[in-house]
Amino acid sequence: MTTTPLAPRLTAATEWRALGTTVRLVVTDPALLDPCDLLLARHLAEVDAACSRFREDSELTSLDGTFGRPVRVSPLLAEALAVALKAARDTDGAVDPTVGTAMRALGYDRDFTLVREDDRPILLTLRRTPGWRTIHLDGDTVTVPEGVRLDLGATAKAWAADKAANTLARAAGCGVLVSLGGDTAVAGEPPTGGWQIRVQDITGPVDETPAPGSYDTVGLTSGGLATSGTTARRWRRGSQDLHHIVNPRTGLPVRSPWRTVTVAAATCAEANAASTAALVKGEGAERWLAQRGLAARLVRHDGEVIATQGWPNRLGARDCADLRLRRGARPATNCEVAA
Q: Examine the pLDDT at 234 and tell me if it is beyond 70.
A: no
Which range of residues forms the domain containing residue 302? 2-49+156-338
In a domain, residue 95? The reply is no
In a domain, residue 215? The reply is yes
In a domain, residue 85? The reply is no
Specify the pTM.
0.83
**pLDDT band at 257; cut points 50, 70, 90:** very high
Share of residues in the chain with pLDDT > 70 (%): 74
In this prediction, residues 168-181 reach a mean pLDDT of 97
In a domain, residue 23? The reply is yes
Question: Is residue 71 packed enough to be buried (19+ CB in 10 Å), middle (13-18) or exposed (0-12)?
Answer: middle
CATH of the domain at 203: 3.10.520.10
In a domain, residue 127? The reply is no
Lowest mean per-residue pLDDT among 123-137, 146-160, 214-228, 306-320 = 306-320
The pLDDT value recorded for residue 318 is 33
Q: Examine the pLDDT at 316 and tell me if it is beyond 90.
A: no
Rounded Cα gap, residues 334 and 337, in angstroms: 9
List, for residues 11-34, the tens digit of each pLDDT value: 899 999 998 889 999 999 999 999
In a domain, residue 293? The reply is yes
Strands (E), the chain: 2-5, 12-18, 21-27, 70-72, 136-138, 141-143, 176-180, 183-187, 195-200, 215-220, 223-229, 234-237, 240-243, 246-247, 252-253, 258-265, 295-300, 305-307, 320-322, 336-338
State how many domains the chain has.
1
In a domain, residue 220? The reply is yes
In a domain, residue 137? The reply is no
The pLDDT value recorded for residue 193 is 85
Lowest mean per-residue pLDDT among 102-106, 166-170, 246-250 = 102-106
User: How far is C-alpha 290 from the chain's CA centre?
Assistant: 19
Residue 31 DSSP symbol: G
Sheet containing 258-265, strands listed edge to edge, beginning at the edge strand earlier in sequence: 12-18, 21-27, 176-180, 183-187, 223-229, 258-265, 295-300, 305-307
Rounded Cα gap, residues 296 and 281, in angstroms: 14
